[in-house]
């Protein structure tokens, strides 16, 4: 079976809603064509709703629930809440930045991160965005996106800073393994490196963030394939893994793929310095400046 992946993910609420609606139709024993005829909707539209490729409305969902004979008030309201939550996420805080965000797959990532309850991330060559200082973020975006104007760079930096505020406000749990190479690349910018090191050292309980440094002596490891972000959501939504490349981003939701990344992260945590030892190494690097 081909592994399932999608480039621009649906909201976590839509994924849950689409799965539930598909399940209800199958339990009712009807085909897409039969249901579409009953509620007077195009079969293709119903198919896209069940696949999570498009959102829907409370009116359509009520019609589907009537069709399937779902009369329990609580069950109906739970599904309608998912519709409303998905609709609300179509008006996110980052919408005003859509002009610059839409040049990448970034909007899809933000929708997932905004719904996640925890993230586990490996930074191979970069400090994870949720842990970057403003100066570091500006440098990274400027150098990695030479196609952007200074104004666009500043706007993306603001988006990154807002993401950090949202993480703190929502109490998002984060576990980051950062390769020492990510910090070594800043050796030519001592002021930015010093600020970034101080920022990482300022992360202390109860900030819901764990940082481990993967030192050069760790040798070859599973993270050699590159950075990735493993996101966990409230049940029953499955975990996903987000991987970025130069031209696009891919989000894996197949259980086998997610499990392999989870295993890789466990190996990276085992090889990295423990949190206390990581802080000691970060302090040493700061003194060396």
> What pLDDT sits at residue 246?
80
Q: Distance between CA 52 and CA 204 in Å, rounded?
A: 39
Question: What is the DSSP pairing of strand 118-123 with strand 173-179?
Answer: parallel
| Lookup: tokens for 135 | 């100066």
Element counts in the chain: helices (H) and strands (E): 13, 7
Compute how many other C-beta atoms are within 10 angstroms of the C-beta atom of residue 261.
Answer: 22
pLDDT by position in tens, the chain (length 289) = 334 444 445 667 888 888 899 999 999 999 999 999 999 999 999 999 998 888 899 999 999 999 999 999 999 998 998 888 787 666 678 878 888 886 656 777 888 898 889 999 999 999 999 999 999 999 999 999 999 999 999 999 999 999 999 998 889 999 999 999 999 999 889 999 999 999 999 998 778 999 999 999 999 999 999 999 999 987 777 899 999 888 778 888 889 999 999 999 999 999 999 999 999 999 999 999 8
> What pLDDT sits at residue 97?
85
Peptide bond between residue 114 and the one before it cis (omega within 30 degrees of 0): no
Handedness of CA 108, 109, 112, 115 (dihedral sign): negative
200-219 per-residue burial string, b: 16 or more CB within 10 A, e: under 16: beebeeeeebbbbbbbeebe
> What pLDDT sits at residue 8?
46
Nearest to 203 by CA among 111, 144, 133: 133
> What pLDDT sits at residue 13?
80
The pTM for the full model equals 0.78
Q: Delineate the domains of the chain, giving CATH numbers in brackets.
A: 10-89 (1.10.260.40), 98-288 (3.30.870.10)
| Lookup: tokens for 132 | 């970057």
Q: At what angle do helices 190-201 and 134-144 cross, to 10 degrees?
A: 130
CB 74 within 8 A of CB 64: no
Tokens 């990295």 correspond to: 272
| Lookup: tokens for 41 | 């909707």
Q: Which long-range contacts (CB under 8 A, 24 or more apart) does 70-73 make?
A: 70/24
Q: Distance between CA 109 and CA 98 in Å, rounded?
A: 13
CB 275 within 8 A of CB 209: no
Q: Distance between CA 178 and CA 211 in Å, rounded?
A: 7
Q: Which long-range contacts (CB under 8 A, 24 or more apart) does 44-49 make?
A: 49/18, 49/21
């Amino acid at each position: 079976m081909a592994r399932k992946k999608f480039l621009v993910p649906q909201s976590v609420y839509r994924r849950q809603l689409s799965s539930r609606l598909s399940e209800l139709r199958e339990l009712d024993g009807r085909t897409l064509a039969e249901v579409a005829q009953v509620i007077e909707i195009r079969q293709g539209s119903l198919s896209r709703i069940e696949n999570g490729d498009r959102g829907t409305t409370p009116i359509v969902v009520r019609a589907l629930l009537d069709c399937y004979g779902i009369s329990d008030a609580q069950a109906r309201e739970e599904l309608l809440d998912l519709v409303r939550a998905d609709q609300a996420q179509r008006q996110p805080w980052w919408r005003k930045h859509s002009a610059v965000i839409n040049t990448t797959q970034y909007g899809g990532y933000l929708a997932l991160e905004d719904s996640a309850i925890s993230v586990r991330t490996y930074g191979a060559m970069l400090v994870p965005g949720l842990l970057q200082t403003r100066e570091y973020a500006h440098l990274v975006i400027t150098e990695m996106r030479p196609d952007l104007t200074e104004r666009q760079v500043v706007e993306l930096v603001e988006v990154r800073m807002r993401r950090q505020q949202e993480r703190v406000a929502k109490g998002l749990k984060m576990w980051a393994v950062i390769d020492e190479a990510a910090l070594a690349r800043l050796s030519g910018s001592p002021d930015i490196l010093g600020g970034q090191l101080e920022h990482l050292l300022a992360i202390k309980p109860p900030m819901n963030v764990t940082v481990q440094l993967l030192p050069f002596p760790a040798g070859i490891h599973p993270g050699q394939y590159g950075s990735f972000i493993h996101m966990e959501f409230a049940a029953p939504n499955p975990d996903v893994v987000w991987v970025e490349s130069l031209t696009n981003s891919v989000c894996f939701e197949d259980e086998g793929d997610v499990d392999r990344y989870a295993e890789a992260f466990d190996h990276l945590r085992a090889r990295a310095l423990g949190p206390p030892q990581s802080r000691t190494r970060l302090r040493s690097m700061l003194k060396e400046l």
